[in-house]
Structure 1
Amino acid sequence: MSISSGARVGARWALVSVLAANMLVDALEVSATLVALPAVGSGLGASVTRVQWIVTGFAAGFGGALLLGGRLVEWFGRRRVFLAALLVFAAASLAGALADSAGPLIATRVVKGFCVALTAPTGLAIIVSAVPEGDARRRAVSVYSLFGAAGFCTGLLTSGLLTEAGWRWTLAFPAPVALLLFAAGLRLVPREPAGPGGGPRWHAVAAGGALTGAVLLLVQALAGGQWGAAAAAAVLGLVCVRAERASPRPLVDTALLRHAPLVRSALGAAALNGSYVSFLLVAALDLRRGGWTSWETALGFLPASAPLALTALHSGRIAARLGPARAVAAGALAAPLGYALYPRSGGGGVRYAELVPSMSLVGLAFVFAFTALHLQATGSLAPALQPAAGGLYQTCVQLGAALTPALTSALYATAGRGAALWLVTAVGLAGAGAGLAGLLAPRSTDPSR
């Protein structure tokens, strides 16, 4: 699949630009909907526990399908899966913008999460395969990572502007962008040999489908307090486990579950990402209730996202200078401190200057911990195991963003903002505990190295 040696460098960087632009669109999906969420709820007459699905449905589709997505790419090829996912993503964006009730909109968000589970890791894999190893590949991966980090800021500002004109524009604008990327991808994404044709596939499909269904049902159980949904989620969880045990090649290598740095980092990242999204969800609802416009909310959220975008190209050096364990611990402590400093006086009494310390600490947490957590999760594993470990780690990151906001929204609706913020802080403290445990744990190496 590598670009031939005679190909122009410009064509290679055009490919990298398309893939990086898609990563930006993928990354802004959460931030854009967080800003638009109060307006969407008002427009559709949906309750807080219902409208939170716009965020958690996307994360559930992303996290639930990520492991199966890797297998689909193996079966059907990177190019075919990447382009097909872009088309479905565009169609789901348009359908969501036209939805006249919460149910169809939530369905499109789950579908979009599934599409991103295909395009985000596949785009990086295409870069690694198409760009020669060395400085060129390092620059390409850096650009790809930078666009991903900048996507959250871009989503805030874009949503802040578009939601003022109408929340449906916020949901619709990714559609034409995805279609443009699809057209460019048809010309630029290299073809590749067909994947392996034989072998049973139903185990992977059953496990992946059961995992996605279990996550969706668990979100419903947490948001709505439905014991039936929780029981059904447990049943699907058992189906997933049985399918994995029966598979000659399971989606998850069970040896990875015994690797303490990976497990600790995955739990810490799930707590950090879940508490972060939940915090911004509560703040978006609170500030809107206090009279803030969508644009003002977007500007208020910038200190929580801009630091990571500004330091994305240096995040590896920051983690290396401090050491991953110390960087993770610093970030994990900064996040709950930021949550605790959020003004408790109510949305109407919050001024921008009062919001900055809280949001800045949360942004600083990601500067320290975001890259360091991934390095800590995979750094001591054999190179052959690192891709599988990365998929498992990213699944946990997205599941944190699906489950924690669901419970937070339920508390916000029944007990108020104070209880919801206490839950967010408690989850952040749990992540801090995982981060501090990394400082105390002895350095371990994987026996397969």
Structure 2
Amino acid sequence: MRAHVTSLPVTATTAPRSTSASHDDQRWTPRLWGVLAVLCLVMFLDGLDVSMVGIALPSIGTELGLSTTSLQWIVNGYVLGYGALLLLGGRTADLLGRRRVFLIALAVFAAASLVGGLVDDGTTLIITRFVKGVAAAFTAPTALSILTTTFREGPARNKALSIFAVFGASGYSSGLILGGLLTSAGWRWNFLMPVPLAILALVAGIALIPRDRPADSGGHDLAGAATLTAGMLLAVYSVVSAPERGWADPMTIVLFVLAIALLTAFVLIEQRMAHPLVRLGILRIATIVRANLGMIALFGSYLSFQFMLTIYFQAALGWSPLRMALALLPAGLIVAFGSPYMSRVIDRYGTERPIVAAMVSLSVAYLWFLVAGDDPTPSYVTDILPSVVLIGLGFMLAFSALMSQATAGVDDSEQGLAAGLVQTSGQIGGAVVLAVTTALVTSGSHSADGMSAATFDQFRPGLTLVTGVAIAGLAVMVFKRRKRDAGDAGPEPVVEDEVLEPAAP
């Protein structure tokens, strides 16, 4: 069961992957660069959207009268649609054709961006963010699966993934500055700005991305898709809404029970389907499991940290959106300028060592701010900048390495599934940690909106949580490395030493 890319001979991935020659002989033609440029532009849009909207949150809350809990939904509305449908998006690309799914989803993304910039109601804005997240759930894994089936596993793919990550970081860093400038002119421009770029990517994608055929065999697991999507949506909604409703509230308990029942039904369905949405055997590969856990720690801690800093700096310290953006800019610049070298790092050291270093960097960053940030007038150079720099280093080291580890050794026909798995972990992990973080932060507030009287002490429980999430991610990686042969000083094998038990055929 393999999807075939028919237009670019250089994208064939059936050559043996075990020899260095098969890794090094791929020729980067102008059209191949063009395909990568389209995929990178979409990655750029993701980074741009996240950072611009994050900077605009306090302004949105002021104009539309939204509380901190409601502002969380502007972030989590996107994350819910994104995370809950990522697996369906990745597998749909495998089964229906990557090019078709990518272009349709990109068109919806552009339309949702336009509508989001025109609405004047908080609920409608959250709905458009959800729709945009659904569209991204199809563009993101499809873009990654197009990349991983276009570039052969090894140096070529590592280089492409590093460039891919650079554009994500560039979008993020650009979004910080643009977000600060555009929010000063009006927060709606933060939603309208991505529209022309999305249209440009759509037109270029139609012209450059080669046509591909759906998988030669296989079925569409509608029952599995329905139970997985409903179960994940309900599970994340339960976590997000529980703090406001109450964890012991009967409705909260019912929602959790229903979510567990749906996800259990999904597992049972996948075990009996001839062509499942998710081949559960892929979760028996240890490196894929670790990559997914690492992505949970990365996005779960970072998304919540940025959310808290955005509100703390602007609402509690009175910083302008532009000053807030400039304060976080070094992190984006480090990722943008450092990611091009990550392919060399991964080629030399493998994936696990950069991930361990990343988790150390993130843990120290959050711990530093937790200790040093408790000052009514914090010094940027000594109290804030060290955390920002360490976060940039951590993200630079982790993102490409986690993506490489999550898709290494996976057949082309399941690249969409592998890409969807790791991105789902990041988004769902981010949504859950952000929901709990928001509950911890707002529980210490005595003001109606949870923002106007904000103090550092109000954010301390949330900062403690994100620090713990990063340390937990580090513990997962360190525990694995302690189990490795002490005499193995070189890069870890990509496939060997990965299988927890024989994978299902």
Tell me whether the two structures share a fold, i.e. TM-score over 0.5.
yes
1:148 is displaced (CA, Å) by 2.4
8 Å CA contact 2:162, 2:341 repeated in 1: no
Residue number among 83, 96, 101 corresponding to 1:63 in the alignment: 83
Whether 1:297 aligns to 2:344 is no
Question: Which residues of structure 2 form unaligned runs of 5+?
Answer: 11-27, 445-457, 486-496
- The aligned residue for residue 7 of structure 2 is 3
8 Å CA contact 1:339, 1:424 repeated in 2: yes
Question: Alpha-carbon deviations, 1:342-380, whole Å to 9, x = none?
Answer: 24335x512331310111112222233333334455557
- The aligned residue for residue 417 of structure 1 is 459
- The aligned residue for residue 279 of structure 1 is 305
Question: Alpha-carbon deviations, 1:318-342, whole Å to 9, x = none?
Answer: 2454453333222212212211222
Question: Alpha-carbon deviations, 1:175-224, whole Å to 9, x = none?
Answer: 22212222333333333335569845322331342134224413423552
| One-letter amino acid matched to 1:370 | F
| One-letter amino acid matched to 1:274 | G
Residue number among 157, 167, 173 corresponding to 2:193 in the alignment: 173
Task: Quickly say closer, same or farther: Cα 1:428–1:195, change in 2 above 3 A.
Answer: closer
Whether 1:28 aligns to 2:32 is no
Residue number among 308, 331, 337 corresponding to 2:364 in the alignment: 337
Residue number among 244, 251, 254 corresponding to 1:231 in the alignment: 254
3-state DSSP class of the match of 1:98? coil
Q: Return the alpha-carbon distance in structure 1 between the equivalents of residues 156 and 342 of structure 2.
A: 19
Q: Return the alpha-carbon distance in structure 2 between the equivalents of residues 260 and 344 of structure 1.
A: 38
3-state DSSP class of the match of 1:341? helix
1:16-95 residue pairs with structure 2 within 5 A?
A: 16-95=36-115
Q: Return the alpha-carbon distance in structure 1 between the equivalents of residues 419 and 312 of structure 2.
A: 35
1:311 is displaced (CA, Å) by 1.4
Q: Return the alpha-carbon distance in structure 1 between the equivalents of residues 336 and 176 of structure 2.
A: 13
Residue number among 370, 377, 385 corresponding to 1:349 in the alignment: 377
8 Å CA contact 1:56, 1:219 repeated in 2: no
Question: Alpha-carbon deviations, 1:276-321, whole Å to 9, x = none?
Answer: 1111111111100211111111111122332222111211322454
Q: Return the alpha-carbon distance in structure 1 between the equivalents of residues 219 and 160 of structure 2.
A: 35
8 Å CA contact 2:278, 2:417 repeated in 1: yes
Q: Return the alpha-carbon distance in structure 2 between the equivalents of residues 316 and 164 of structure 1.
A: 38
| Worse-matched range after superposition: 76-85 or 322-331 | 322-331
1:5-404 residue pairs with structure 2 within 5 A?
A: 9-127=29-147, 140-193=160-213, 199=219, 201-226=221-246, 227=249, 228-229=251-252, 231-247=254-270, 248=273, 249-289=275-315, 290-342=317-369, 343-346=372-375, 349-353=377-381, 354-377=383-406, 379=408, 388-404=417-433
Q: Return the alpha-carbon distance in structure 1 between the equivalents of residues 343 and 483 of structure 2.
A: 22
Q: Return the alpha-carbon distance in structure 1 between the equivalents of residues 158 and 294 of structure 2.
A: 27
Q: Return the alpha-carbon distance in structure 2 between the equivalents of residues 160 and 138 of structure 1.
A: 33
1:65 is displaced (CA, Å) by 0.7
Q: Return the alpha-carbon distance in structure 1 between the equivalents of residues 425 and 186 of structure 2.
A: 33
Q: C-alpha root-mean-square deviation of aligned residues, in Å?
A: 3.0
| Worse-matched range after superposition: 269-278 or 115-124 | 115-124
Q: Return the alpha-carbon distance in structure 1 between the equivalents of residues 399 and 255 of structure 2.
A: 33
3-state DSSP class of the match of 2:66? coil
| One-letter amino acid matched to 1:413 | T
| One-letter amino acid matched to 1:98 | L
1:382 is displaced (CA, Å) by 7.6
1:272 is displaced (CA, Å) by 2.2
Residue number among 416, 420, 434 corresponding to 2:476 in the alignment: 434
Task: Quickly say closer, same or farther: Cα 1:108–1:216, change in 2 above 3 A.
Answer: farther
8 Å CA contact 1:278, 1:405 repeated in 2: yes
| One-letter amino acid matched to 2:465 | L
- Which one has the bigger helix percentage? 1
TM-score, L = length of structure 2: 0.80
- The aligned residue for residue 437 of structure 2 is 408
Q: Return the alpha-carbon distance in structure 2 between the equivalents of residues 16 and 230 of structure 1.
A: 46
3-state DSSP class of the match of 2:117? helix
8 Å CA contact 1:214, 1:237 repeated in 2: no
1:21 is displaced (CA, Å) by 1.0
3-state DSSP class of the match of 1:207? helix
| Worse-matched range after superposition: 209-218 or 63-72 | 209-218
8 Å CA contact 1:44, 1:101 repeated in 2: yes
Task: Quickly say closer, same or farther: Cα 1:355–1:234, change in 2 above 3 A.
Answer: same
Q: Percent identity?
A: 36
| One-letter amino acid matched to 1:425 | T
Question: Alpha-carbon deviations, 1:382-428, whole Å to 9, x = none?
Answer: 88766544432221111111111111112111221122212222222
- When the two structures are aligned, how many residues end up with a matched partner? 447
